[in-house]
Amino acid sequence: MDTHYEEYLLKRGVKPTALRLLILKAMTAKKDVFSLSDLETELGTVDKSTIFRTLTIFSQSRLLHTIDDGSGSLKYALCDEACECRPEQQHVHFYCTVCKRTFCLRDTAIPLIAMPKNFSIENINYVVKGVCGKCSKIAT
């Protein structure tokens, strides 16, 4: 396995086991958002519960962020190496109601909101729903 993946896991405090390295490599091959079932399909020999536990560890270690796009299935996207998943670093996601894909809009920051006294933000889920550019072209 590439030592870059091992170093990446170690920087986030994750022990680089063979399965974690395999799952991370599959995730980095994805260009955008993916689901548990996407990884299951790609890693057919790896147990679904192992993939899910690994995704949970990666999420807790800020290697990836989870996206609840309202589809009933959590989606995931790799974080940038500098990301600490603080609310001010989070970005908008877009869910296409036609092709059912979810996109990270990394250059579109979530507007910060004022919270009542004694409330603190830990995570923000901001999903815009509509028709993506590819599906808009098909519709016309």
Q: Which CATH class is domain 3-139?
A: mainly alpha
Q: Write out pLDDT tens, residues 9-34.
A: 888 889 999 999 999 999 988 878 99
How many alpha carbons lie under 13 Å from residue 28 in its C-beta half-sphere?
Answer: 14
Q: Which own/partner contact pairs does 51-58 have at CB distance under 8 Å and 24+ positions apart?
A: 51/23, 54/19, 54/20, 54/23, 55/23, 57/14, 57/20, 58/14, 58/23, 58/24, 58/27
Q: Which of 12, 100, 16, 11 is nearest to 2 (CA)?
A: 16
Q: How confident is the model at residue 85 (pLDDT cuts 50, 70, 90)?
A: low
- What's the mean pLDDT in 110-129? 86
| pLDDT in the model for residue 97 | 93
Whether pLDDT at 89 is above 90: no
Contact 69/75 with Cβ under 8 angstroms?
A: yes
Q: What is the pTM of this model?
A: 0.80
Task: Kindly list the domain boundaries of the chain, sorted by start residue.
Answer: 3-139
CB atoms within 10 A of CB 135: 15
Q: Write out pLDDT tens, residues 32-80.
A: 899 999 999 999 889 999 999 999 999 888 888 888 998 888 999 888 7
| pLDDT in the model for residue 84 | 66
Q: Which helix (H) or strand (E) holds 34?
A: strand 34-35
Q: How far apart are CA 137 and CA 79, in angstroms?
A: 30
